[in-house]
Amino acid sequence: MRDLTTDAQAQTPEGFVSGAQTAAAETLPATPLVYIAYSGIWLVLLLYVFMLWRKLQRVEKDLQQVSSARPGADRR
Amino acid sequence: MRIAQRFVPFLLAGAAVLLARAPLMIEAAPIESSMGVIQKIFYFHVPSAIMAFLAAFVCGGASAAYLWKRGKGADALAVAAAEMVVLFGFIVLFTGPLWARKAWGVWWEWQDVRLTMTLVMWMIFVAYLLLRRFGGPGSEVLSAAAGLFGAALVPFVYVSVNYWRTLHPKTTVVNTLPPDMAFVLRWSMLGFLLLFVSLLIVRTQLELARYRLEEAYAGLDD
């Protein structure tokens, strides 16, 4: 089994350091991964907001139908 | 709840402005020296994780309140918060592996305690929602207990990186952010917070509307 503690000490940075030159030396391109990450986040959030809005519309419509089926029923 | 609803358009508008501006600021933020461009995932990954933790605490608190007083408002808030944990937790679990692939050379590492505990916490809240969906009568109490367990796990997930040193950096890493990176993180954090609060209010409102609908149907049957 790999010694993850030693690996982590070698790989995990203990602080953020600003530096613009490193990007050019990258082997696996990071930009597509960043784009996938942000596109995914926006997609998930927009999809959730849309689903929430649809569910609210449906429940409010059902509530109106039930209320109209019971004249005199109290509406909160 | 009605008072909170009035703030939703303003909260959503604030979140929209902040989150629409955020990508431009993230692009302009300095490139981190050891990880490079991939570190930019951090600006949405960390706020999502914080919102998932916050939602878990809200769910735990509301679940405890429900178990104590059996109020429908507390139950509705707990359901809404559990859904927020699943939503923001999914974002964390989706963006994390993309970052890990580049920074650590692997999509996932089971021996990393932070990763594995986050997944377990997320699955507890998925179980919460499944219980609510398919559990039948009485599932509110069972799911409230699950919500409490899920919330209790959050502090362990947070401090795990300080005690089990694997791939994730320690919690103190955020304090080392240079000011121009820290500003972008705070900007995104505020955007996510406004979005979280507005979604939580709307989702709670939906759950309360469902209760009213159930009562109305029950009234029709009588």
Q: Are B11 and A4 in contact (CB under 8 A)?
A: no
**Is the model's pLDDT at A25 over the cut of 60?**
no
CA distance B1 to chain A (A): 13
Higher pLDDT, B193 or A4: B193
Output the pLDDT for position B81: 97
Output the pLDDT for position B155: 94
Output the pLDDT for position A1: 46
Question: What is the spatial distance between Cα B47 and Cα B214, in angstroms, rounded to a whole number?
Answer: 36
Tell me: the pLDDT tens digits for B11-64?
A: 999 999 999 899 999 999 999 888 888 999 999 999 999 999 999 999 999 999
ipTM confidence = 0.88
Chain A residues inside the 8 Å CB shell of B36:
22-23, 26, 30
CA distance B159 to chain A (A): 15
Tell me: the pLDDT tens digits for B80-127?
A: 999 999 999 999 999 999 999 988 889 999 988 999 999 999 999 999
**Is the model's pLDDT at B186 over the cut of 60?**
yes
Chains A and B form CB pairs within 8 A to the count of: 141
Chain B residues inside the 8 Å CB shell of A74:
none
* Residue B178: how many other CB atoms lie within 10 Å: 14
DSSP E strands in B145-214: the ranges are none
Tell me: the pLDDT tens digits for B18-27?
A: 998 999 999 9
B185 vs A56, B14, B30, B138, CA distance in Å? 32, 16, 12, 42
Among the partner-chain residues B36, B40, B95, the one whose CB lies closest to the CB of A26 is B36
**Is the model's pLDDT at B164 over the cut of 70?**
yes
